[in-house]
């Protein structure tokens, strides 16, 4: 920002910096000094089952699959013709999908014309049925998960934690974080639910567990 507005902003920030200078404490020390007497974990068993139940409650479709079944399950779920993917998705996930249906890292202008997107995630929270993307490996940039109308997310069993504090310990707060609990939805002034305003209207979750889990849970 330049000009008078930029000069005023610099002056205000400079005054704040000078006022804080003598007692400024590094953010890491502040963070470490916060007392956390609350219960950090509400569940010790059945975490995967709880996650599947909670995320389905938010109107997501949940597929419970083994790693061997994942490629076929993904192929069967792809409606329409073409899907965006992060370029670094594991080849083992995509083995049953014709390569012509996948568009690695499309530009923003192309995203709106695609039928959906397939990504991984950073962590999933059983207690809240929430999936978190930090847009690191297997997740692509943020626009990839917000523009297409249909989002397919692969969650592996080791990514599911019991509660929010455990999830936050795995995340870097400096990264862009996207929290997903079901399809994107909001309400108007009369509380009429509207889906798809801020992100995908359709969410399908592929929960990859080490053992057969008895098929689809919706």
pTM for this entry: 0.81
Measured in degrees and rounded to the nearest 5, phi and psi for residue 99 equal -60, -25
Residue 139, pLDDT > 60, answer yes
C-alpha Rg value of the chain to the nearest Å:
21
Res 211: pLDDT: 66
Which residues, listed in sequence order, are joined to residue 136 by a DSSP beta bridge? none
Classify residue 77 as exposed, middle or buried by CB count within 10 Å of its CB (0-12, 13-18, 19+): middle
Residue 37, helix vs strand vs coil: coil
pLDDT digits (tens, 9 = 90+) for 28-43: 777 778 888 888 888 8
Residue 44, pLDDT > 90, answer no
Strands (DSSP E) contained in 66-105 are 83-85, 102-104
Integer Cα distance of 37 and 171 in angstroms: 20
Q: Where are the alpha helices (DSSP H) in 21-141?
A: 27-32, 47-57, 70-77, 108-111
Pairing of strands 185-187, 193-195: antiparallel
Residues 45-69 have a mean pLDDT of: 95
Res 50: pLDDT: 96
Integer Cα distance of 117 and 177 in angstroms: 17
Residues 168-190 have a mean pLDDT of: 88
Res 215: pLDDT: 47
Residues 5-14 have a mean pLDDT of: 84
Integer Cα distance of 50 and 204 in angstroms: 16
Mean pLDDT (the chain, rounded): 88
Cβ-based neighbours of 12, under 8 Å, separated by 6 or more: none
pLDDT digits (tens, 9 = 90+) for 167-177: 999 999 889 99
Residue 217, pLDDT > 60, answer no
Residue 108, helix vs strand vs coil: helix
pLDDT digits (tens, 9 = 90+) for 98-123: 989 999 999 988 998 999 999 999 99
Integer Cα distance of 89 and 119 in angstroms: 7
* Domains, the chain, ordered by start: 47-208 (3.40.50.10420)
Cβ-based neighbours of 191, under 8 Å, separated by 6 or more: none
Q: How far is CA 118 from CA 36, 100, 128, in A?
A: 36, 14, 22
Residue 23, pLDDT > 50, answer yes
Contact yes or no for 130/124 (Cβ under 8 A): yes
Residue 43, helix vs strand vs coil: coil
Percentage of residues of the chain with pLDDT beyond 90 = 61
């Amino acid at each position: 920002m330049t000009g008078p507005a930029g000069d005023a902003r610099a002056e205000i920030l400079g005054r704040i910096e000078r006022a804080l200078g003598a007692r400024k404490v590094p953010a890491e020390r502040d963070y470490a000094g916060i007392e956390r007497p609350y219960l950090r974990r509400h569940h010790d068993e059945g975490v995967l089952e709880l996650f599947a139940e909670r995320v389905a409650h938010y109107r997501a479709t949940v597929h419970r699959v083994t790693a061997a079944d994942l490629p076929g399950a993904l192929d069967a779920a792809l409606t329409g013709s073409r899907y965006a993917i992060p370029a670094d998705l594991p080849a083992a996930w995509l083995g049953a999908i014709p390569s012509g249906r996948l568009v690695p890292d499309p530009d923003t202008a192309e995203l709106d014309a695609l039928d959906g997107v397939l990504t991984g995630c950073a962590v999933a929270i059983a207690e809240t049925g929430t999936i978190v993307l930090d847009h690191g490996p297997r997740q692509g940039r943020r626009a990839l998960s917000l523009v297409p109308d249909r989002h397919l997310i692969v969650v592996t069993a080791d990514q599911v934690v019991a509660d929010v504090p455990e999830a936050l310990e795995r995340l870097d707060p400096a990264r862009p974080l996207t929290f997903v609990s079901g399809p994107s939805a909001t309400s108007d002034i009369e509380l009429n639910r509207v889906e798809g305003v801020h992100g995908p209207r359709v969410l399908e979750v592929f929960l990859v567990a080490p053992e057969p889990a008895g098929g689809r849970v919706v």
